[in-house]
Chains A and B, each alone.
Chain A
Amino acid sequence: MNERDYDVVVVGSGAGGGTVAQALAPMVADGLRVALFEKGPRLRDDEFTGREIEMASALYEDGGGFLTADGTLTLALGSAYGGSTVVYTGTSLTAPERVIRGWGVPGLDHADVVARSRRYADENNVHLLPDDEINDNNRLFVEGCRGAGYAAEQFPINVKGCLGSSLCNLGCPNAAKQGTNRVQLPRAEALGVEVVTRAEVLRVEERALVVRVHDEPQGAKGLPSEWAPGDYRVRARIVVLAAGAVGTPALLLRSALPGLPARVGEGFTCHPAHILVAEHAREITNDVGHPKSYYLDRAEDEGFILETCMYFPFTTAKNLVGFGEAHSRFMNAFRRLQMILVLACDHATPGNRVAIDRDGRAVVHYRFTPDVVRSLVRATRASARIFFAAGAVRVHAPSADPPCLEVSDAARIDERVSERHFLPGRTSVSAAHPMGGCGMGRDAGDSVTDAWGRVHGLPWLRIADASLFPDSLEINPYLSIMALADRVAEAVRAEATR
């Protein structure tokens, strides 16, 4: 096995790992040796084509079809240089005060999270899109919210030179989205941080990683790894894990480190979501323009968030309930479709956790609690009202049976959309905000790390991703991940200079 030595090694290059790498990079000039390992490939700019199947295969774990253990929930997990920041829509919200307070993590202060989030928002060019770049799909959401008695809010997003391809979730083909692949990682590399792609971390050992560098698969997108294919033992004084809320707990579990807190893998949440569509009588601009410009935050009062969205033909087809003529009818109305993503604010629940199978691969156990089903149904009812208020003539509602609401159903939405129609395995549910699994807290009895991402009992081991969240964040998480990762980096810097 090849041997390498560093002072700090980071696993994962998304919002957490990218942030840590950049924050430590200035110390490379003073002799600090930092390496970052990313399992996914580094794509050339011209490889971002926006074509659904090839980009999903290149940028997502299992092509975007990672299923939970009972097969009733699909998780979208980014896997590339830049992690999930390559495939999200750039939405940049700061954590609500009530959520951070509710987490009750000693030493974690909301004001600190906000201050750090703002810094990264500035760094990533977060701003509101001007009116003339908003498409009909988003305008109709705002109008529909107004008509239904809600107040939509505009998402701040992190784009620079956005052409409105609408292809954010397939990796921006115009290098406009300011993910870590465009901002933090290039800066870190410019200052001497070594980034190694196609580098799968097999396990963590005491102050070391065992890393397998893979060859470039035949015909696959992406550059070859920076290191020669093979297995490496990489020693480091400090190990920072930022492989995501599925990847990090799974890596720790298969490493079976002596002294690892028992709660690793527990507390997994993910904002389970439906993609809802509605058909209008006229064509609208939907597959052009930024797809996710507005949202409606009902998290505190009703346990859900609605967001505008626009997906691609296969993703849309998969997320509609049913099959045959009724299904095709919606698909054939594609140019007239308005879409809303409904997200349930789930909470850490015993049994919902990350585990590993006998081969050490991640397995996510997730059951829909009655509260989650209620939130999804409430959110679907609200969305149906918004769709009809915006002028839709037909609404696809997964928690209705049959799942199609006509205008004549508008007065009886509560009756038509019901928890009794939510059937796991039939009702399409997906999630793109995996959180928890290595939650912060007081001690090893209630958590995995402290408020600075230090693993209880293993001070050389740090966590710097969404797995730190002790419970759901109830908003899109990426800025909050960066804020927490910045805290982790600060603690690492302090220790590394000793």
Chain B
Amino acid sequence: MTPPPSAPTGTFGPMERDLRALAVGIVPEIARLDDAGWRAVATVVEEALASRPAPLRRKLLLFVRVLGWISVARYAARPASLDAVRLGRLLASVERSRLLLLRRGFWGLRTLVFMGYWTRPESAAAIGYRARPEGWEARR
């Protein structure tokens, strides 16, 4: 489940490795993407953040950093080094946190990861999504 060591450092800087690991925990299929595939996911996330107020990007990066701290405190390892089980537990703990702030943070992170992955035509095709402007005509 750990992303490959060659994972490039993109515009998310030193947090990109943790971000990629967290993304795999949210959408396991991301583990099967090569670096170019991951960059495509990250690019959608970056573009979404670029179109929103600047504080949103800072909040995302802060939340990834906080998850890193929680991970180190709980497992003595950064998210990029966790196995699938511990990564899942880490994410579940923030998803169900008593603190709305953490739940919101996770909500934002998963939304961006879903956006990055599920808006790719390849991802839609992989699950058999076939909607076309031609509608019924395209099926007959």
Chain A residues packing against B (C-beta within 8 Å): 48-53, 57, 62-63, 65, 70-72, 133, 162-167, 173-174, 283, 285, 287-289, 312-314, 316-318, 322-325, 327-328, 331-335, 423-426
The total number of A-B Cβ pairs within 8 Å is 123
Within the complex, the shortest CB–CB distance from A154 to chain B, in Å, comes to 18
B135 touches A313 (CB 8 A): no
Shortest Cβ distance from A357 into B: residue: B53
B131 touches A287 (CB 8 A): yes
Instruction: Determine the chain B residues whose CB is within 8 A of the CB of A174 once the complex forms.
Output: 133, 135
B111 touches A318 (CB 8 A): yes
Shortest Cβ distance from A425 into B: residue: B103
Instruction: Determine the chain A residues whose CB is within 8 A of the CB of B118 once the complex forms.
Output: 313-314, 316-317, 331
Show 16 residue pairs from A and B whose CB-CB distance is below 8 angstroms, ordered by the A residue. Answer: A49-B133, A63-B48, A133-B136, A165-B135, A174-B133, A289-B136, A313-B118, A313-B129, A316-B118, A323-B25, A324-B26, A324-B28, A324-B88, A328-B27, A425-B103, A426-B106
B139 touches A423 (CB 8 A): no
Chain B residues packing against A (C-beta within 8 Å): 25-29, 44, 48, 51-52, 88, 91, 95-96, 100, 103-104, 106-108, 110-111, 114-115, 117-119, 121, 123-124, 127-139
Shortest Cβ distance from B130 into A: residue: A287
Top 5 A-B pairs, shortest CB-CB distance = A425-B103, A164-B135, A173-B133, A163-B135, A53-B119
By secondary structure, the B interface counts as: helix
Picked from A313, A317, A423, the residue with its CB within 8 Å of the CB of B96 is A423
A424 touches B100 (CB 8 A): yes
Picked from B25, B91, B117, B136, the residue with its CB within 8 Å of the CB of A288 is B136
A424 to B102, CA, bound (A): 11
Within the complex, the shortest CB–CB distance from A417 to chain B, in Å, comes to 17
A425 touches B100 (CB 8 A): yes
Picked from A52, A72, A324, the residue with its CB within 8 Å of the CB of B25 is A324
Instruction: Determine the chain B residues whose CB is within 8 A of the CB of A288 once the complex forms.
Output: 130-132, 135-136, 138-139
Within the complex, the shortest CB–CB distance from A253 to chain B, in Å, comes to 19
B127 touches A323 (CB 8 A): no
Shortest Cβ distance from A70 into B: residue: B100
A65 to B110, CA, bound (A): 13
